[in-house]
Amino acid sequence: CVRCQAQAQGSDMDGHYIRRCVELARKAAGHTSPNPMVGCVIVRDGRVVGEGFHPKAGQPHAEVFALRDAGDLAENATAYVSLEPCNHYGRTPPCTEALINAKVKDVVVGMTDPNPIVASKGIERLKSAGIDVRLCVEEEASCRKLNEAYIHRMLTGKAFATLRTTLSMNGVVVNQIGSGADQLGGYYSTLLKEYDGIIISSNFAETTTLPMSNETGAKQPLYIIIAQGEKSQLNIPFLKQECASEAIVLSDSPITVEPSGVEVLVLDQMNLESILQLLAQRGLCSVLVDFREAGGSITSLLNNFQEEKLVQKVVVELLPFWAVSKGPNDLAFGGSQSFPLKDVEHSEVNGCVLLEGYV
């Protein structure tokens, strides 16, 4: 019947507009933590009348920007939001009230908010105000993927960890910045933009020239430098540059760091679990474990990462590059079992093959 067709069309369009919300949300990738990335689209009579996204924690939510953009046209419109609207006073007032006051007719959400102070209460509040609310089942998975790190932190109290390495065509772990291989690794600047922090070993920090965020145009990720063993001094040249990123040194014993002024924390327990908890407490949702040296101070942290469920994702860049092997090459760690990764995707970036999979 005509009515059913109209409904089918309506739900087809749900997917379309929620995908647009995800696209808008991603504009703030790397800037929203500890908050999620959220996008919102306001549609009236089949026409987009307002769009917005959440730019940064402390700033207004996506719905507020989209409602402002729509103005009076929000009345009787449909609001699409990639995440359930919040119903609490945090750094900003509840989006449910903003939607109710704007008199929207219905709301389509991409996923419910795992934040226990929201968790379906936003949807209930909208329904109690007579607003029709539906979940866009078709795009729920893409909304979850968008905020996989935020969801993980919310549910576990730990930062979402991605293990990253680069391999040459002959299977050598490429850690020699300046060898020519790093120029090919154009994907690194994308990672710098998207992750809240990057864990590297003290050896790597001492010997490398990491691309600084000002050079790559990205925001400043926090470098988390792991110092383990007998070292009592650490000299980190890349932190002496003018546009240096922020850094924190996590050490298992007292240590002096050059340049001075870098924050140093001596941990009683140097294990990945306590590090990821500490980073989550500091508001980081996602962290990249940049692993490019066998036997370095990060190896021991990763010994049982699969069993401990501490690493969620693995990213490997395969570079069109032949490298000289300078020592043990196989990143041998990770417990006693071999296992296939899940939901593997591959893509090509600047002539490198990028493989991503979930643990």
Q: What residues make contact with ligand AOF under the rule CB under 6 A?
A: 35-36, 38, 54, 57, 61-63, 83, 85-86, 90-92, 95, 113, 115, 118
Q: What is residue 187's three-state secondary structure?
A: helix
With respect to Zn ion, which residue has the nearer C-beta, 89 or 322? 89
With respect to Zn ion, which residue has the nearer C-beta, 62 or 284? 62
Distance CA 334, CA 299 (A): 9
Instruction: Examine residue 86 and tell whether it contacts Zn ion (CB under 5 A).
Output: yes
DSSP per-residue codes, 202-240 = HHHHHH--PPPHHHHT---PEEEEEE-SS--EEE-GGGG
- Confirm if 313 and 357 have CB atoms less than 8 A apart: yes
CA-nearest of 77, 102, 86 to 38 is 86
Q: Which does residue 33 bind out of Zn ion, ligand AOF, none, counting CB within 5 to 8 angstroms by kind?
A: none
Q: Which does residue 145 bind out of Zn ion, ligand AOF, none, counting CB within 5 to 8 angstroms by kind?
A: none
Q: What is residue 321's three-state secondary structure?
A: coil
* Minimal distance, residue 94 CB to ligand AOF, in Å: 8
- Confirm if 253 and 268 have CB atoms less than 8 A apart: no
Instruction: Examine residue 61 and tell whether it contacts Zn ion (CB under 5 A).
Output: yes
Residue nearest to ligand AOF (CB): 90
* Minimal distance, residue 155 CB to Zn ion, in Å: 19
* Minimal distance, residue 194 CB to ligand AOF, in Å: 17
With respect to Zn ion, which residue has the nearer C-beta, 91 or 326? 91
Instruction: Examine residue 62 and tell whether it contacts Zn ion (CB under 5 A).
Output: no
Instruction: Examine residue 107 and tell whether it contacts Zn ion (CB under 5 A).
Output: no
Q: Cα angle vertex 113, ends 111, 29, to 5°?
A: 80
Task: Calculate the CA 40 to chain-centre distance.
Answer: 19
DSSP 27: G
CB atoms within 10 A of CB 170: 11
With respect to ligand AOF, which residue has the nearer C-beta, 61 or 152? 61
With respect to ligand AOF, which residue has the nearer C-beta, 56 or 326? 56
* Minimal distance, residue 104 CB to Zn ion, in Å: 14
Give the active site residues: 63
Q: Phi then psi for 345, rounded to 5 degrees?
A: -130, 150
Q: Which does residue 125 bind out of Zn ion, ligand AOF, none, counting CB within 5 to 8 angstroms by kind?
A: none
Q: Which residues on adjacent β-strands are paired with residue 258?
A: 235
* Minimal distance, residue 281 CB to ligand AOF, in Å: 15
* Residue numbers at the binding site for Zn ion (CB under 5 A): 61, 86, 95
